[in-house]
Chain A
Amino acid sequence: MEKETDEAILQRVGRGDEAATAEFYDRFAPSLFAIARRILGDEQEARDALQDGFLYIWDKAADYDPARSKAFTWFVMIFRNKAIDRLRASRRRVRLNETAAVNLLDLESPLAERADLSVERAESAEAVRRAMRSLPDEQRKCIEWAFLRGLTHLQLSELLGEPLGTVKTNIRRGLMRLRDILQEGES
């Protein structure tokens, strides 16, 4: 039997289908928990963020429009943004022992056979890894720190010792390049 798409399962959640919510949780909770943990750096905070995120998805899934975005993008951005809001509200700063020299992502090991991912997602992950590796260091660093530590462009400018305009340009160029590489890979 063909696996139900992320979009279809999310639309069932939007119709109030509790079984779909349980399936949705089983399919994505480990990935979403990993994001929350990485951003918040605290297990209990991440667990709370996961619960809040799922309640929010339950309320908002009916508004999800598959014509506008992929389901994965929609809920990853919701969870990530909620975790960052939680981090900013707690006024915790970047961990003091971390500097810009720290690599937040392991881009060295190939992901094609990662056990926690389906074959299709492992292929996508590998494409993302290769795309991220191909970015110039200064662009990749800005994106990593903004995505995984929730740093604003002002905080990035402070951390990397770069002018604000340079940071913004690096984010713009890096993200657009990442989009181009991933789109080329899909076509």
Chain B
Amino acid sequence: MTERQEEQAALNALHSLDAHERQILHAEIRINPRLRVLAAELEEAASKIALLLPAESPPEDDRALLLKRLKQHRSATVTPIGATFRILRQPGVAWAVAACLAVIAWNSRGVIRSLTQEMEALAQSESTARNVAADALGKVAGLENKLADATDVSQRLAGEITDLKQMNVVARLEVTSLRATVRKFEEGVAVIVWDGEKQEGQLKLEKMPPVQANRDYQLWVIDKKNPAPVSAGVIKVDARGIASVAFKPAEPVPSAAKFAISIEALGGVAKKSSDGPIIFAGPQ
């Protein structure tokens, strides 16, 4: 059974299908016993919601009115056979009626034959229509299976595309380890992951000694074609000498060749000055 069929059965239980949809569902129910059971079960579940409503008695008069209407309704649909038989029991009338019936029967032979032929033709048309409907439902089921297969393939491809994209991201990342240029910082570790396409990166520092209170570490990115370093921001290390920060250079660096860390005035500087010593640089 397909999700669409389950959906239609659920909507049917809530009387939400339009006439055309209902017709299709009922045609499917006729040839699909599981769908028939599901539709009945969902109707039963839905009907039980009625139990949650507190009962409300209709006005007293309505009961009498209904029973009166039922009596009238019943007598209107019952054929008055008794009166007819009383008339027919009179001998003259009975013979006349019998003669009339005989004439009518003789004349009706052709009509009956034609009606019989029409009924046979209708039965044949009905049978053909049923076969056509069964074929159509078979085709619908086939198409639904194809759609389900196509959806699976599409989902698998989407997964592969995501994997490829991730691989592509990894491929374009550069990992650089900076080397200390000052003895005091030789124990320190500085690693940069750089995404040139996105112009952003991640810096990880460990075992860094604290800087003076009025100074800060500052990261620089140097373009292959432009010797002036571009600031990538101030780096604050914690009490254990660790920092892990995402950075983005202040201006684009199309072909970043080197990275450097210097010690600058508190808050950092916009342009690299000769005052701040470079303590890490790389790659070598």
Chain A positions near chain B (C-beta within 8 angstroms): 16, 18, 21-22, 25-26, 29-31, 33-35, 37-38, 46-47, 50-51, 54-55, 58, 68-70, 72-73, 76-77, 80-81, 84, 105-107, 111, 114, 116-117, 121, 124-125, 128-129, 132, 143-144, 146-148, 150-153, 168-169, 171-172, 175-176, 178-179, 182-183
> Are B70 and A21 in touch, CB under 8 angstroms?
yes
A128 to B: closest C-beta gap in Å: 5
- Give the nearest-CB partner of A70 in chain B: B44
Using CB atoms, name the residue of chain B closest to A105: B52
Interface contact A29-B11, CB-CB below 8 Å:
no
Given the known inter-chain contacts A73-B43, A171-B11, please indicate yes or no for A143 contacting B6, CB distance below 8 A: no
Q: Which of B55-63, B102-110, B160-168, B212-220 contacts A (4 or more CB under 8 A)?
A: B55-63
- In Å, the complex CA distance between A146 and B13 comes to 10
With both beta carbons as reference points, the residue of chain A lying nearest to B67 in the complex is identified as A22
C-alpha spacing A179/B10, complex, angstroms? 11
B contacts, CB < 8 Å to A: 3, 6-7, 10-11, 13-16, 18, 40-59, 62-63, 65-67, 69-71, 73-74
Of A16, A34, A169, A175, which one neighbours B53 at CB under 8 angstroms? Answer: A34
- Chain B residue with minimal CB distance to A28? B55
| Shortest beta-carbon distance from B127 to chain A in Å | 24
CA distance A33 to B56 in the complex (A): 6
Q: Are A54 and B16 in contact (CB under 8 A)?
A: no
Task: Say whether B51 contacts A121, CB under 8 Å.
Answer: yes
How far apart sit A35 and B58, CA to CA, in the bound complex (Å)? 11
Complex contacts, B71 vs chain A, CB 8 Å: 18
Closest 5 CB pairs of A and B: A30-B55, A125-B51, A116-B55, A179-B45, A146-B14
Contact A175 B46 (CB under 8 A): yes
What CA separation (Å) do A143 and B28 show in the bound complex?
A: 24
Interface centre among B50, B67, B73 (most CB of A within 10 A): B50
> Is A169's CB under 8 angstroms from B69's CB?
no
Asked if B40 and A68 make an inter-chain contact with CB atoms under 8 angstroms apart, the answer reads yes
| Least Cβ–Cβ distance between B49 and chain A, in angstroms | 5
**Complex-state Cα separation, A123 to B249, whole angstroms:** 70
Residue pairs across A and B with Cβ atoms less than 8 A apart, 21 shown, are A29-B58, A30-B57, A33-B55, A33-B58, A34-B53, A34-B56, A47-B62, A50-B58, A51-B62, A54-B66, A69-B40, A69-B44, A72-B47, A80-B50, A125-B51, A147-B14, A171-B11, A172-B3, A172-B6, A175-B14, A178-B46
> For residue A146, which residues in chain B have a CB less than 8 angstroms away from its CB?
14-16
Contacts of B50 in A (CB 8 A): 31, 34-35, 76, 80
A106 to B45, CA, bound (A): 18
Contact A55 B55 (CB under 8 A): no
- A84 is contacted by which of B15, B46, B47, B65 (Cβ under 8 Å)? B15
Contact of A111 among B6, B40, B52 (CB under 8 A): B52
Nearest-CB residue, chain B, relative to A179 = B45
Q: Which residues of the partner chain A approach B58 to less than 8 Å between Cβ atoms?
A: 29-30, 33, 46-47, 50
Determine the distance from Cα of A30 to Cα of B59 in the docked complex, in whole angstroms. Answer: 10
